Chains A and B, each alone.
Chain A
Amino acid sequence: QLQLQESGPGLVKPSETLSLTCTVSGGSISSNTYYWAWIRQPPGKGLEWIGTIYYSGNTYYNPSLKSRVSISVDTSKNQFSLKLRSVTAADTAVYYCARIFGGPYYFDCWGQGTLVTVSS
């Protein structure tokens, strides 16, 4: 059974870089059927798609975050990662990693999520 697990610091200072990793187990990140994504949810609010990566390294970002975001993949470790630069309090959220079925597209498996707080 596929499992995704987010990891990384729960507290980041303003203006610094948020870094998270998603470890995929029970399946290969190199499958050509799926993409891999980051989604976030501020406390008490709705869901926002951050970006997506394919195992080949092709990336797709939300234009609202594109200038600050990078997503990378490490197929040898079955992991993909998120970096969000120059964070502010508005970036405080639960960050989820998820698998996207690649055509039609839907988020069919999610990690449990990790809360990242931006505060000094």
Chain B
Amino acid sequence: DIQMTQSPSSLSASVGDRVTITCRASQSISSDLNWYQQKPGKAPKLLIYTASSLQSGVPPRVSGSGSGTDFTLTISRLQPEDFATYYCQQSYSSPFTFGPGTKVDIK
């Protein structure tokens, strides 16, 4: 199985901050990397697919980059609705696996 790691596991930030979350795969996954946002008690929501493609309806302050084993999710100006947990997920090979999550909370 491809193991996914994320850093940091949590971070505190203020509205307006720029936030970057890193995801690393245990082997190359090309650009087959997706990002999801999850709020408490809710289902995950797709933000970014294939490393850098913005899902319809997601604000452009959210962006993704990377390929191979190292990926980043960036939120350029954090808004109140962005406080949540973020997961990366690889779809390069079965079984699909998720990172452990990064919790973004209010400083």
Contacts and interface: CB of A to CB of B under 8 A. Distances in A.
A105 B91 contact: yes
A98 B20 CA distance: 27
| Residue of A64, A105, A110, A111 with highest tally of chain B CB at under 10 A | A105
Contact of A60 (B45, B94, B101): B94
Given A64-B95, A104-B32, A105-B96, A110 B55 contact: no
B95 A104 contact: no
Interface string A84-108: 0000000000001010010011111
B97 A107 contact: no
Contact of B46 (A46, A47, A108): A108
Contacts of A108: 46, 49, 55
13 contacts: A46-B101, A47-B87, A49-B95, A49-B97, A63-B1, A63-B95, A64-B95, A104-B32, A104-B91, A105-B32, A105-B96, A106-B89, A108-B55
